Amino acid sequence: GAGVSQSPSNKVTEKGKDVELRCDPISGHTALYWYRQSLGQGLEFLIYFQGNSAPDKSGLPSDRFSAERTGGSVSTLTIQRTQQEDSAVYLCASSFPSGGFQETQYFGPGTRLLVL
């Protein structure tokens, strides 16, 4: 079946503008994650959604970052008043809950954000 999809693939924006990044998880996957990967670095957790539960926002770096998930499927990550340090690849992952630490997350291709 189809994997995790993300759009846009690339986004160039000016400092101070807002951006929206979209993630469409694998069908049937109730868990959805957003990560950020800065150049040459590992992945940094941002936010986690599981079904209808309140999201885990513990990784969001500032209040300029927010995310929502509508209908338990598609998710949008919004960055307000973008800064140059927000430039990174934003990766979305989804998983089917199998119980805690055993869940395998499947990733999308990412959105490369460049803030000028």
Partner 1 sequence: AQKITQTQPGMFVQEKEAVTLDCTYDTSDPSYGLFWYKQPSSGEMIFLIYQGSYDQQNATEGRYSLNFQKARKSANLVISASQLGDSAMYFCAMREGQTGANNLFFGTGTRLTVIP
Q: Which residues form the interface with partner 1 (CB under 8 A)?
A: 31, 33, 35, 40-45, 48, 50, 56, 59, 89, 91, 93, 100-110, 112
What one-letter code names the amino acid at 68? E
For residues 43 and 74, which CB has a smaller minimum distance to partner 1 in the complex?
Answer: 43
Q: CB 81 → partner 1: shortest distance, Å?
A: 25
For residues 16 and 24, which CB has a smaller minimum distance to partner 1 in the complex?
Answer: 24
At 60 the three-state DSSP class reads: coil
- Terminal Cα distance for the chain, rounded: 37
For residues 70 and 104, which CB has a smaller minimum distance to partner 1 in the complex?
Answer: 104
Q: CB 25 → partner 1: shortest distance, Å?
A: 14
